[in-house]
Amino acid sequence: LNNSRRLRFAILGSGRGSNAVALADACLAGEIAGTIVTVLSDVPAAGILERARERGIHADAFDPGPFRTKLADASEALVIRRLREARADYVLLAGFMRILRGEFLRAFSQRILNIHPSLLPSFPGLNAWQQALDHGVKITGCTVHVVNECIDGGPILGQAAVPVLDGDTAATLHSRIQKAEHGLYPSVVGALARGDISIEGRRARGFRAVPSIDFGP
């Protein structure tokens, strides 16, 4: 991939779009040498579409088909076609709540990233902040990783640490992790767009982890 030009990013999301906003704003601010070329959602009413349109970014919903946790074959083919039409170099998942399968992974092999609200490999799967509270960890965080066939298991590009505090509820911890996500995701994608990140096997180089906000004194 030629990193001397601006990269073209597509975002897939199902929710409010706070990570999409962080990524889009970082592109506008020049912190990511790239452009968000389209935002697609399986949820027509998802805030992420509105947030994108407010910023002049093309945004569209698509019909995911009859399944709850994956896309129907036809839907997957449609999304792949749209991403190719948009000439997306990378697909950034931002709160996209469906599993992507083989055809999609092959179409954008090593070019799909996700952000997960824990320090993987701890707490893969849903509601990772609640899992962290239930397990009683003192430190959790968030992880940007390459998406492959293993759910939440692809090579890790960047992580940020977030403390769990004594008074935390699921809501307060989730909110603290999300703040860290909004810093981590743009900074990893920025490093990627600069060509700083190289991957060899499971080990990626070129991004230095940081402790997040709120560790306090």
Q: Which stretch binds a copy of itself (CB under 8 A): 39-47, 65-73, 75-83, 155-163?
A: 155-163
Structure tokens given for 204: 């990626």
Count of positions on this chain that bind a copy of itself (CB under 8 A): 37
Q: Collect all residues with Cβ–Cβ distance below 8 Å to 26 and sequence separation of at least 6.
A: 32, 186, 189, 190
Among 53, 121, 125, 169, binds a copy of itself (CB under 8 A): 121
Alpha-carbon span 204 to 210, nearest angstrom: 16
Site membership for a copy of itself, residue 190 (CB under 8 A): no
Q: Count CB-CB contacts under 10 A for residue 24.
A: 25
Q: For the purposes of burial, counting CB atoms within 10 Å of the CB of 217, is it exposed (0-12), middle (13-18) or buried (19 or more)?
A: exposed
Site membership for a copy of itself, residue 209 (CB under 8 A): yes
Residue 189 half-sphere exposure, CB side, CA atoms within 13 Å?
38
Site membership for a copy of itself, residue 141 (CB under 8 A): yes
Site membership for a copy of itself, residue 159 (CB under 8 A): yes
Residue 145 falls in the annotated catalytic set: no
Alpha-carbon span 8 to 212, nearest angstrom: 28
Q: Which stretch binds a copy of itself (CB under 8 A): 12-20, 60-68, 129-137, 172-180?
A: 129-137
Structure tokens given for 46: 């998802």
Among 43, 61, 78, 139, binds a copy of itself (CB under 8 A): 139
Alpha-carbon span 102 to 163, nearest angstrom: 36
Site membership for a copy of itself, residue 207 (CB under 8 A): yes
Among 21, 52, 100, 133, binds a copy of itself (CB under 8 A): 133
* Cα torsion angle, 57, 61, 62, 66, sign: positive
What amino acid occupies position 88?
A
Residues 160 to 179 in contact with a copy of itself, rule: CB under 8 A: 160-161, 163-166
Q: For the purposes of burial, counting CB atoms within 10 Å of the CB of 110, is it exposed (0-12), middle (13-18) or buried (19 or more)?
A: middle
CB of 187 to a copy of itself, least distance (A): 12
User: Which among 58, 116, 135, 182 is annotated as catalytic?
Assistant: 116
Among 122, 127, 130, 172, binds a copy of itself (CB under 8 A): 122
Residues 33-52, one symbol each (x = binds a copy of itself by CB under 8 A, - = not), give --------------------
Q: Give the active site residues.
A: 116
Provide the binding-site residues for a copy of itself, judged by CB under 8 A. Answer: 119-123, 133-139, 141, 143, 155-156, 158-161, 163-166, 201-211, 215-216
